[in-house]
Structure 1
Amino acid sequence: MRQAIRPALSWLLALLLLPAWGLTAHAQSQARPEEHVVKRTILALYDRQSEETIRLSRVGSYATMPLHQLGLKVVYHNIRDPLPTPETIPGLRGVVTWFGGEVPEPLAYLRWATALLEQGIPFAVLGDTGTTGAPVEQQDRFLRHLGLEATGDFRLLTYDMALSQGEAGMIGYERAPMRPYPSYTVFRQGDAGATLYLAAKGGEGADHPLVIIGENGGFAGAGYEYYFDPEIVRGRWIIDPFAFFSRIFRVDGLPRPDATTLAGRRIYFSHVDGDGWRNISRVPGFRDRESGATWALFKKAWEPYPDLPVTVAPIAAELDTKYFASADDLELARELFALPHIEAATHTYSHPFVWRFFRHYNAQKEQELEVKAGRAPSTEGNRWDRMMASFNLTPQDRYLISEGTAADEHPVMRAFANVPWSLENEIAGSARQIEEVLPAGKKVALVQWSGDTSPFPKAVRETRAAGMTNMNGGDPRFDPEYPSVLFVSGLAFTGNGIVQPYAQASNENTYTNLWSERYYGLRYLAATLRNTERPRRLKPFNLYYHNYSGEFPESLEAVVSILDLARRSEIAPIEASRYAAIVDGFQSTRIVAIGGQDGGSVWRIENRGALNTIRFDDAAFQAVDFGRSAGVIGQRHYQGSLYVALDPVAKAPVVALAAIDRTDIPPAADRPYLIEARWPLRALQPGAAGAVTAEARGYGTGAFTWRVEPGRSYAIHVLAGEDEVWRGRATADAAGRLAFTVDADGLRWLRLELSPEAAGTSDSAS
């Protein structure tokens, strides 16, 4: 599913990213003396010669998610490109490396790395240091920051080796080191103050550090940071990556932009790629219908779940009468998108399989590939031949992308090569085509990447220019087949100067061996959803699949099983385009510590876009100080973390924390605040004597829990303009929890009014 090896980024890439990073630089130049911009950027080095792409490198695949979880941004740089300076990467907090051998020009690299370390920029070194061929004295200037000292030795045979563990809590996160122990480079502990977590017992009585954290960095040796079996492409962490990176980059106590939670609840979103729009279905009742797979989903998975929004992304060529669309196809699309909880996206116009081919498009080359694959029309412009060649569009077509691994296979680059290629047409043009079947007021807001989901930078920039967000790739899984957070991808791909938000769950392809078996496989998404929620929330609740999931009864039932799970879960449902915008906000967020350095108690949150949750970890005994805060809607303690809900209308909210002495009840405050809600809020206004108003919008019924004065009764009024759409009463419990559910249509912004009642007024929960 994912392989090990490599990431990229050069000083030129740093210049390309300056528009995004420049915000931080501008903030630093504007910050007052008593303010400090929190640095959030981690530079991830990789070797492109040994690792095929950034996306499949170890830092790109395995290290990025824990770093994102800690609230840090990641940029990548190929070690073979000119090394960047901190000035080209504003906000640089640290560097992570995960080399598989010697770096080119190790002396030049050591000088560069040591200069950064001496400026206080820590290094997290996993695997090889990449510098063992350099003179020992040059290595030691670098290694002493990690708590190490070079010996120049290497231990190949480990059959008689014993391990010793130091401070607890770092080793054995998902598995312990097991015999036969890997060979290792022999280091000595070079700093008595360094924290040693794992060592090999040396024959001379001295321990050889294998995992250690020093004054300004840390090291986890190759084979002792994680276990990986290349035969089955599976692995598990040996070190705790969250603790390892947190301690090295010193992020304890810092606010963390959070893309998993909204209004105190786990985010839910669902998106559907349009592959299989016109496919036949074997589901009873839909077998004889044109586009039966889509009809089956429409009637069984979409229409019956108006409380769960779904973003559906057709391939535009299948809604274009110049190519494949029939009148029935267009009518189906109009009926589908008329449902208010269905958002429209685009899965491109012609469904490219291999995006890199189109970076420098060659029409003649594509035609040759089509002829070899037997897909070229027998007569120029023969629409019928083309349609029959690709009618049942499923992942099976992707076997044709194997670059000719079998004598009778030939690669094709996209599903519908009779559509003239143009990048503008694939992005903005596909949106225009799909919008022809949308009801008034709806627009296409999201591009869902097709094929290998690895668009070249210009393609991603084209989505931004067209005013859309973008998503796909990543394919995270965490279940018995992929039993590790190693296979939980980060929030986005951020290499090559772009931000490409990833899907936050894998689709049915990885569960069904590319739609060739186990058509019920998407049921096992439930395991990933469970494992990425406990013991720590790593991901939102994302249901991601294709139109061809309507082909078989068991595949359709698998989709419905996850929808039913969502209904049983405490979630905040939103549209997929909104989630992609939240990930964009994670990247752009700027945090300013007020009145102190990192670890202070007051922060201003800027440039956060659609992101409206800030998380503090290990914060059970901390709470929002509403008297010193601004633009904060509410707070909730969960899993030892404090989730702070920000008001979307607040441009630069301020979050101040104070100590509390109880963790069993919601913290007291001098004003009502939101604990959690299914409908996210905005424009909250506290009133006199405990009154509060806000605007709310969401899917399903509006469940809310507020913290108010214990035992206080409230009248609740919900208005659409001047019209009252719901009213009720509720009384807070002894801990101050005021819970009620608004039974009304929340698809438009409604005004929520909470008015405290006089003592003695009769009340009833509604």
Structure 2
Amino acid sequence: MALYYGETWRPELTAFDIVVLEPAYGHDPQRLRAPGMEPFAYVSVGELPDHHPGAAQAPAGCLSSVRNPHWGARIWNHAEAACRGFWIEQVFAPLWQRGWRGFFLDTLDSYRLDPQLDPTRQQAALAELIRAIRQRAPQARLMLNRGFELLPQVADAVELVAAESLLHRFDAARGAYSPTSEADQQWLLQQLRQAQQRYGKPVVVIDYVAPAERAQAREVAKRIEQLGFIPYVTDGLLQGVGVGRVESLPRTLLILLDRQRHPDLQTTPMLRWIDMPAQYLGYRTEVVSLQGPFPQEPLSGHVAGIIVWGEGPAPDPAGLHAFLRRARAEGLPILVLNEWTLDPRVLDPALRTVRIAAQTPLQHERLGAETRPPARLPGPATGLAGPDLRRWAWAGTGALVGAAPWGGFALQPALVDFVPGFKQVRWLPDPFALLTEALRLPPMPAPDVTTESGRRLLTIHIDGDGFVNRGEWPERPLAGEVLRRFIERHPWPHSMSLIEAELSPQGPYPDTAEEAQRIARRLFELPWVEAATHTFSHPYRWQLLEQSARNGDDVTELNYNLAITGYQFNMRREVEGSVSFIRGLLPSGKDVRLLFWSGDCNPSADQIVHVRRAGLLNLNGGDTIKSQQCPSLTCVAPIGVVKDGQLQVYAPLANENLYTNLWTGPFWGYQRVIETLEMTERPRRLKPASIYYHTYSASKPASLQALEKVYAWARAQPLHPQPVSAYVRKVEDFFEHVAVARLADGRWLLKGRGDLRTVRLPPGSRPDWARSAGVAGYADHPSGTYVHLASLPAELALREAAGTDDPPYLISANAAIDQHEAVAAQRWRWRLQGHVPVEAEWRVPDGCRLIPATSATVTASAGHRVRVTSPHATVTLDIDCTPR
């Protein structure tokens, strides 16, 4: 269990079974809920703050004139039935309507602060209130914070009991931490034992330790568990991710950069360069402005390290230095990139900087990841000197790249090389090794969005542009019709979007509207095509349109979107309006699931929020185009970007526009995406296989032939086709839900929403089947070992080599694992659910039989491998290892 009263959700919290949150911050329990994790709402029963909507409407006599001296909230008098009824309708009911199903009931003894309130009446009233909650919502899960005197009357309505400050306390008035007294410990122990033994309730103990004392927090949690209670040890304001029966591995890297120089995160090159390798390693990033304000909450529970991008003088050096000192006090490593702009003593009193003159010979041990380092520095640079530096490269007496006990650094001109004459960049150090070593990132099962069931994913999505273009054939068909015929011949999952204005009689092309809509209806009748919107007017400049609409400007002549007579940009019209139009073209049972960003694919955080609240997934942007022409890792985009807390999911790879010089030719250019597909597969699998194009690619013979070649390449690969919506949900899971934690016995606990079900281990790693749960198999690749999780939560133990006693396991499949369970001793049942005829391979030990329940062809080969193929997209089979 965890309690977290911070404003920003931390995915590391998913590791816990119950997470108590402050609902006033707008957390969405339905979005956060995950298998094995239930969000609970913090509810103050005995007090009400002035800012609560019900405070101004409370009936006379319900709110006392007395306030809690620490928090300022007024005491609530529950003695009158009208006050209890009002509290249920104005405090509890709105939370239930928002989707909260668990409730942490606090301040149950605050009535003691008001001498005018009769304790006996208040206790009876609170018991009546809790029973009324149970009657109003029988499914509600209730937890009491103390309230021991209520247990005799409400034990049957309560699931858990919690208490604070058994061993360590926090004094809010002084902001100080201290051990509790022996007398207080003994009294509270007696109450907790009674709750356990007499009433049979699990007991949670919440203790408080300073954020910088992480080791002490672990020790206190261990002592609480030894006493027989569920521990949670955190900071006094419950703003950080604490330690309980599990401790989540931090998966967040903070990137500090100058937001005045780089106000648009999507076009900030260094984020692209850093984010991708960080995400490959299993980490997500959050940006903090060097202008401040700097985070005030504890960091060590969810932040794995801090990256400072130096670029000119620091805008707020005092604030930056104070923040980094606090981060170092919490044990966090610091990585400084580009320029050294810090006071060296912030990181190490013995560290000093050294100015290196121009033309100094450059010595290096480990540079040259993507390009040859220069023999001499091309200009003046700043290097570091000091004890305990593990140098990667140096010139004279100053190191330019290296690691140290406090973290590491990589400074220009030994960080990246700008290729003359091209808008391209090459890494000098290996970015994966740099992040791992400088930030001391521990080995962990890395959540991976590229793979499922051991195979690289294949996604296909189409932006609707050019649906009404005339094809360059004698009969002059609409491009939409040519595309429909093409997709009909390729029954893989496709995600097809439309621009409403192109198909609407009110748009710029009324003469073809009826024909285009008829084609769209036939296209969506194909069972392997899911629907998306590409908006109403196809905005080219999302943020500029938003600003112009806010200012009331007329943008008709500015080419910010399709010119539509009388139309002024409106988000509701672009999103909900276009979705309504497309729904009218869909067969029964289908709906619009996604919005594909158009134009610059650079929406604001508010625009992303609008799309999410409309119930849609969002995708596009990024432009991964790694190829022989652009062979660097810097040409591989991250999987998404977080803008002011809102996630924009990037398209896995770029579309044909970037291979055809913005659709000016050569129109066969998209066949070069095969280079990108192959170069993002080896030596590391950096991206899913992705085919992404516009409808106008069906308007020219050359571009259609390029598509045929790309589809033929995909058909020859061992891929796992999925709708793009499934990929987007995996990326959401990566950013918002997935938690990786170490259990006390050394196993890994893996939790998440369940969309992302693959973790990657170092090459040669193997599951220890006897100590793992929810693990269905693994596949080897140069990137590492891809482990398939059949269900979440999962528990993963490792061993160095495969064993002769390994049970049957799935090696790879082009379908998702829908069922994997033991149905009898030594007999397992599998169900694979895919989108194309199933191909799968198992390892089946000697003495075991594979028994398909679905029509399938079974072929055995060397190494205990058994291959199964079926004409169906769903396959059920048993593997029976019962001795015969």
Instruction: Specify the TM-score bucket, using the shorter chain as the normaliser.
Output: 0.7 to 0.9
Alignment of 1:183-582 (within 5 A): 183-192=379-388, 194-200=389-395, 202=396, 207-229=397-419, 231-282=421-472, 284=473, 287-289=475-477, 292-300=478-486, 302-306=487-491, 308-323=492-507, 324=510, 326-362=513-549, 366-367=553-554, 369-370=555-556, 373=557, 410-414=558-562, 416=564, 418-582=566-730
CA distance in 2 between counterparts of 1:98 and 1:424 reads 38
Give the drift of 1:594. 3.6
Residues 513-546 of structure 1: CA deviation (Å, up to 9, x unaligned): 2111211111111111111100011110011110
CA distance in 2 between counterparts of 1:73 and 1:454 reads 20
Question: In the alignment, does 2:337 pair up with 1:150?
Answer: no
Give the drift of 1:712. 4.4
Residues 308-346 of structure 1: CA deviation (Å, up to 9, x unaligned): 211110012233334346221111011111111111111
| Match in the other structure for 1:403 | none
Task: Give the conservation status (yes or no) of the 8 Å contact 1:449–1:472.
Answer: yes
1:18 aligned residue (9, 17, 22): 9
Question: In the alignment, does 2:346 pair up with 1:141?
Answer: yes
Structure number with greater Rg is 2
- So what's the TM-score if we normalise by structure 1? 0.81
| Match in the other structure for 2:863 | 735
Give the drift of 1:182. 3.4
Residue type matched to 2:798 in 1? L
Q: 1:81 to 1:186 in 2, by over 3 A?
A: closer
Alignment of 1:662-701 (within 5 A): 668-688=804-824, 690-701=826-837
Task: Give the conservation status (yes or no) of the 8 Å contact 1:589–1:605.
Answer: no
1:128 aligned residue (339, 344, 350): 339
Give the drift of 1:413. 4.0
- Flag structure 1 segments of 5+ consecutive residues without an equivalent: 1-13, 132-137, 374-409, 719-725, 761-766
Task: Give the conservation status (yes or no) of the 8 Å contact 1:671–1:686.
Answer: no
| Match in the other structure for 2:877 | 753
Residues 360-381 of structure 1: CA deviation (Å, up to 9, x unaligned): 44388653x42xx4xxxxxxxx
CA distance in 1 between counterparts of 2:10 and 2:316 reads 31
Q: 1:556 to 1:366 in 2, by over 3 A?
A: farther
Give the drift of 1:415. 5.0
CA distance in 2 between counterparts of 1:727 and 1:542 reads 29
CA distance in 2 between counterparts of 1:734 and 1:690 reads 22
Larger mean Cα displacement after TM superposition, 540-549 or 357-366: 357-366
Q: Secondary structure at the match of 2:618?
A: strand
CA distance in 1 between counterparts of 2:567 and 2:739 reads 46
1:175 aligned residue (371, 386, 389): 371
- So what's the TM-score if we normalise by structure 2? 0.70
CA distance in 1 between counterparts of 2:284 and 2:315 reads 26
Residues 709-749 of structure 1: CA deviation (Å, up to 9, x unaligned): 1374433122xxxxxxx144444x442211121122x1xxx
Q: 1:55 to 1:231 in 2, by over 3 A?
A: farther
Give the drift of 1:60. 1.5
Task: Give the conservation status (yes or no) of the 8 Å contact 1:46–1:57.
Answer: no
Q: Secondary structure at the match of 2:485?
A: helix
| Match in the other structure for 2:126 | none
Give the drift of 1:500. 0.8
| Match in the other structure for 2:259 | 48
CA distance in 1 between counterparts of 2:833 and 2:394 reads 55
1:163 aligned residue (347, 356, 362): 362
Give the drift of 1:632. 1.7
Residues 454-496 of structure 1: CA deviation (Å, up to 9, x unaligned): 1111221122212221100000111122120101011101121
CA distance in 1 between counterparts of 2:640 and 2:654 reads 14
Higher relative contact order, chain-length normalized (CA < 8 Å, sep 6+): 1
Alignment of 1:612-627 (within 5 A): 612-617=757-762, 619-620=763-764, 622-627=765-770
Residue type matched to 2:266 in 1? R
Residue type matched to 1:338 in 2? E
Task: Give the conservation status (yes or no) of the 8 Å contact 1:171–1:198.
Answer: yes
Give the drift of 1:33. 4.5
Question: In the alignment, does 2:292 pair up with 1:81?
Answer: yes
CA distance in 2 between counterparts of 1:531 and 1:20 reads 31
CA distance in 1 between counterparts of 2:721 and 2:851 reads 26
Give the drift of 1:755. 4.5
Task: Give the conservation status (yes or no) of the 8 Å contact 2:778–2:787.
Answer: yes
CA distance in 1 between counterparts of 2:351 and 2:373 reads 23
Give the drift of 1:76. 0.9
Give the drift of 1:164. 1.9
| Match in the other structure for 1:391 | none
CA distance in 2 between counterparts of 1:688 and 1:237 reads 54
| Match in the other structure for 1:635 | 778
Task: Give the conservation status (yes or no) of the 8 Å contact 1:353–1:413.
Answer: yes
Task: Give the conservation status (yes or no) of the 8 Å contact 2:290–2:316.
Answer: no
Task: Give the conservation status (yes or no) of the 8 Å contact 1:184–1:222.
Answer: no
CA distance in 2 between counterparts of 1:83 and 1:32 reads 24
Task: Give the conservation status (yes or no) of the 8 Å contact 2:308–2:335.
Answer: yes
CA distance in 1 between counterparts of 2:344 and 2:370 reads 31
| Match in the other structure for 2:308 | 97
| Match in the other structure for 1:645 | 788
Residues 246-296 of structure 1: CA deviation (Å, up to 9, x unaligned): 1123334211110010100000001100111111111x36x422xx22222
Q: 1:437 to 1:355 in 2, by over 3 A?
A: same
Q: 1:23 to 1:593 in 2, by over 3 A?
A: closer
Task: Give the conservation status (yes or no) of the 8 Å contact 2:653–2:691.
Answer: yes
- Flag structure 2 segments of 5+ consecutive residues without an equivalent: 20-36, 38-231, 234-240
| Match in the other structure for 2:844 | 708
Larger mean Cα displacement after TM superposition, 536-545 or 651-660: 651-660
Q: 1:20 to 1:615 in 2, by over 3 A?
A: closer
| Match in the other structure for 2:58 | none
Q: 1:219 to 1:449 in 2, by over 3 A?
A: same
Q: 1:89 to 1:16 in 2, by over 3 A?
A: farther
Residue type matched to 1:438 in 2? L
Task: Give the conservation status (yes or no) of the 8 Å contact 1:34–1:594.
Answer: no
Give the drift of 1:414. 4.3
Residue type matched to 1:260 in 2? T
CA distance in 1 between counterparts of 2:443 and 2:551 reads 58
CA distance in 1 between counterparts of 2:702 and 2:754 reads 40
Q: Secondary structure at the match of 1:425?
A: helix
CA distance in 1 between counterparts of 2:551 and 2:251 reads 46
Larger mean Cα displacement after TM superposition, 469-478 or 628-637: 628-637
Give the drift of 1:129. 2.0
Residue type matched to 1:154 in 2? R
| Match in the other structure for 1:657 | 798
Task: Give the conservation status (yes or no) of the 8 Å contact 1:347–1:450.
Answer: yes
Larger mean Cα displacement after TM superposition, 548-557 or 104-113: 104-113
Give the drift of 1:184. 4.2
CA distance in 2 between counterparts of 1:585 and 1:417 reads 41
CA distance in 1 between counterparts of 2:574 and 2:804 reads 53
